[in-house]
């Protein structure tokens, strides 16, 4: 699963890698950071993304957060 969280006028691209899906703590951080940044979520437990696509997304992001 991968989703973009909309943000208004964001400049920093943050990629969130979620190993077990979004829990309430992660969801609060994601919501807070998505106010000023472009945030993309990748749920690694869904296994819908190829390794090559994951690597491309990591290198395209300004910041990567693993949760």
Taking the chain, what is the end-to-end CA distance rounded to the nearest angstrom? 15
Full residue range of the structural domain in which residue 12 is found = 2-66
Determine the pLDDT at residue 18: 92
Strand order in the sheet with 37-43: 2-5, 37-43, 12-18, 63-66
pTM given for the model = 0.75
- Place 63 in a pLDDT band, splitting at 50, 70 and 90: very high
Determine the pLDDT at residue 10: 42
Determine the pLDDT at residue 57: 96
Domains in the chain, number: 1
In 3D space, the residue among 50, 64, 66, 63 whose CA is nearest the CA of residue 12 turns out to be: 63
Quick: pLDDT tens for 21-62: 778 888 899 999 888 999 999 999 887 889 999 999 999 999
């Amino acid at each position: 699963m991968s989703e973009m969280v909309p943000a208004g006028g964001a400049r920093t691209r943050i990629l969130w890698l979620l190993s077990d899906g979004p829990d309430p703590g992660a969801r609060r951080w994601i919501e807070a950071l998505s106010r000023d940044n472009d945030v993309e979520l990748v749920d690694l437990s869904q296994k819908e993304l190829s390794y090559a696509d994951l690597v491309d997304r990591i290198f395209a992001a300004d910041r990567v957060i693993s949760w």
